[in-house]
Structure 1
């Protein structure tokens, strides 16, 4: 049976009162403790959980962000693409506030997201504006275009580099975790490459496919249209001369 608090929170989401829905969920913590909310969120619809998460991030914290489990968060975040937010600003805020919260294991959250259909696409959305940085990081191990990186992969093809990501004998990271601990895209990319290499590989391939698609679209847009055939009237006039 659905907990009364969840039923109330669902109704509030339906009428657009996200703040009220969040307050209802938090009240469960206040009366029954943290674990009660964690367990209850298993029965809370993912789309409603996403509605709450979208309204709160690191700039506007919620107990829900601090307690949601990797699996619960993953089920909600994969629905974000339905909002059609081209800027992905809300996506950035949600991911950063949840996976980098105190005591969390970002790799665990990223694995849970990628495990679901569409999860890797969501991570690609998060990194879309940083695609060039990600490629540079993939090739050199650093994010700064003007810094000297790891030259150990210089002789490898891209495919060999991708295969090497999951090879335990490739050595440690060129950058330490402390050097990229920004609780943002750099730390997420570093975590993918060195803790979840298969997911990093998949996200990188998605971003490359998107870049090729955008290039084809741009090329088509830049191609001048063929001249229109002469109108029948013009042809008749020419034949009469």
Structure 2
């Protein structure tokens, strides 16, 4: 039965019928119990399991997302990059829906993701549109980029949003080894974005003044090359 269902689910997913695959998996839980579904999920290829769980979030739950184990979920998360989703909308939705489903298991899910190659990279993608706030939080323990003192540090109760703020707080305070791998790339990304935005703003200002962008920058004088001792004049 289990092998047949795995083949059926994979076939439906391959045909693009994600809803049909999810229905078949949930039907097993309804007829044979939750453990039977957990065992089938263990046999599914990570990319097939991912195809199902990435279609659901906190607003559209699935029994599959409610029963998936931390290890199964982590294996699926690290292959999400195969979809090349630049917005990472599905990644954020499924992570929020699963890791915050039970507060007692949140740490297990985070650790399972961190234990796999590519896990931290997936979390970097998850936080990619919050790079500036994450880099700032690393320094000052606050997400408010206008505050530059640790006197304004937040605790978890202030960021229990079941979203990126709570996950960032947990990573820094309860999974520091993972956070040390995640925040430097985000900080670099934020710096690059800020530099590009500044350059674009200068270009817009120059165009508004009727000056070509290349002409708007002050000329930079090149320093004269220093003479080597054997080249110095004897005079």
Q: TM-score range by the shorter chain?
A: 0.7 to 0.9
- Shift in Å, 1:65: 0.5
- Shift in Å, 1:138: 1.1
SS in 2 for 1:136: helix
SS in 1 for 2:150: coil
SS in 1 for 2:101: coil
In 2, Cα distance between equivalents of 1:208 and 1:85: 21
- Shift in Å, 1:175: 2.5
Aligned length: 203
CA contact (8 A) 2:132 2:190 kept: no
Aligned position for 2:137? 137
In 1, Cα distance between equivalents of 2:12 and 2:91: 22
In 2, Cα distance between equivalents of 1:220 and 1:147: 25
Aligned position for 2:171? 192
In 1, Cα distance between equivalents of 2:74 and 2:89: 17
Q: TM-score, normalised by structure 2?
A: 0.78
Moved more, 101-110 or 134-143: 101-110
| Structure 1 stretches lacking a partner, 5+ long | 153-173, 225-241
CA contact (8 A) 1:46 1:76 kept: yes
**Structure 2 residue 19 is matched with structure 1 residue 40:** no
SS in 1 for 2:127: helix
Moved more, 104-113 or 35-44: 104-113
In 2, Cα distance between equivalents of 1:43 and 1:198: 31
Aligned position for 2:231? none
Q: Which digits, 9 at most, give the CA deviation of each residue in 1:117-144, with x for residues without a partner?
A: 1111110011111111112211111112
RMSD: 2.6
In 1, Cα distance between equivalents of 2:88 and 2:143: 21
In 2, Cα distance between equivalents of 1:126 and 1:150: 25
Equivalent residues in 2 for 1:63-78 (5 A)?
Answer: 63-78=63-78
Residue of structure 2 aligned with 1:208, choices 180, 187, 202: 187
Q: Which digits, 9 at most, give the CA deviation of each residue in 1:171-208, with x for residues without a partner?
A: xxx43322111000000001101110010110012223
| Structure 2 stretches lacking a partner, 5+ long | 204-212, 215-235
- Shift in Å, 1:47: 0.4
**Quick one: structure 1 residues 178 and 218, their matched pair in 2 at CA, closer, same or farther if it must change by over 3 Å?**
closer
**Quick one: structure 1 residues 186 and 220, their matched pair in 2 at CA, closer, same or farther if it must change by over 3 Å?**
closer
Equivalent residues in 2 for 1:90-169 (5 A)?
Answer: 90-147=90-147, 149-150=149-150
Equivalent residues in 2 for 1:19-58 (5 A)?
Answer: 19-58=19-58
In 2, Cα distance between equivalents of 1:216 and 1:185: 24
Q: TM-score, normalised by structure 1?
A: 0.76
